[in-house]
Amino acid sequence: MNPDVNSPPHLLVIDDDPRIRNLLTRYFEEEEYSVTCVADGIEMRVEMRQKTFDAILLDLSLPGGQDGLDLAREIRSQSDVPIVMLTGRDDVVDRIVGLEIGADDYIAKPFHLREVHARLKSILRRRATSTPAKVSAAPEEEVFSFDGWSLNVSRRMLYDPEGREIGLTTGEFDMLVSLVKNSGRVLSRDQLMDMTRGRPMEAFDRAVDAQIVRLRRKIERDPKRPELVKSVRGIGYVFTGRVS
């Protein structure tokens, strides 16, 4: 679900409020995006079976049996498409759960359209991979190896010691790259947030912790006893793998 350089990014907006859907549709279509809007999970499933999306703007407060957290969990179990949560809830727990599920960002309502656009562009830019033309023009790729793992930064791919590709969300991949490039250096949560999102996140420390927990589940032999990404009490995290 990476953006096609020859076509505009395709967004899926999931929000039960028709005013929000219309507002986002008008704005992003003027910015030359393709936009599909749905009101609930039933409509979401229909669209996702038929179309490919480059990013999803998902409202947390949805009516019916499934809220935005339920849908985010469902989406993430099937796809690594970027998810930006739109929430009117002033509840830190909801934000943490959303990030633990695999959302890439959250924006509180009422929001400024330019801020939504700026954050979305940042996510799509980080996610973008090299096209074949770019690869032929620059054959040398940025690849790191650690403890049998291979991290191809240029292609945004991670392979385990058995050569299997491990799927990472945008946030997980950016977190791993930041840690690997600073191997042996203790990084604070603020530093990691700034490196992975390009902006501070209101000192939302547990957002980083949530990303680390999910990353450990994918790269550690025993996530409860991490050997690669270790906690430094009161400061942050350090990558201890042998990087080449």
Which CATH number fits the domain that encloses residue 102?
Answer: 3.40.50.2300
- How far from 205 is each of 96, 118, 143, 181, 189, CA to CA, in Å? 10, 22, 29, 21, 6
Q: Pick 66 or 226 by higher pLDDT.
A: 226
The span from the CA of 156 to the CA of 133, in Å, is 17
Last residue of a domain, one of 74, 96, 127: 127
Q: What is the pLDDT of residues 128-144, one digit of tens each?
A: 743 333 333 345 778 99
Q: What spatial distance separates the first Cα and last Cα of the chain, rounded to whole Å? A: 30
The pLDDT tens digits for 210-244 are: 889 989 999 999 999 999 999 998 888 999 988 88
In a domain, 78, yes or no: yes
176 and 71 share one domain: no
Per-residue pLDDT tens over the stretch 162-179:
888 888 887 888 889 999
Of residues 6 and 141, more confidently modeled: 141
For the record, the structure tokens of 183 come out as 């191997």
The whole-number average pLDDT for the span 90-102 is 69
Residue 57 sits in which domain range?
10-127
> What letter represents residue 240's amino acid?
T
Instruction: Identify whether 110 is part of a domain.
Output: yes
Q: Please answer whether residues 132 and 110 qualify as being in contact, where contact means their C-beta atoms are separated by less than 8 angstroms.
A: no
- Residue in 61, 83, 51 with CA at minimum distance from that of residue 16: 61
Residue 5: inside a domain: no
40 and 96 belong to one structural domain: yes
Task: Assess if residue 57 is contained within a domain.
Answer: yes
Q: Count of domains in the chain?
A: 2
Sheet holding 157-159, edge to edge: 143-146, 149-152, 157-159
Q: Are 158 and 151 in contact (CB under 8 A)?
A: yes
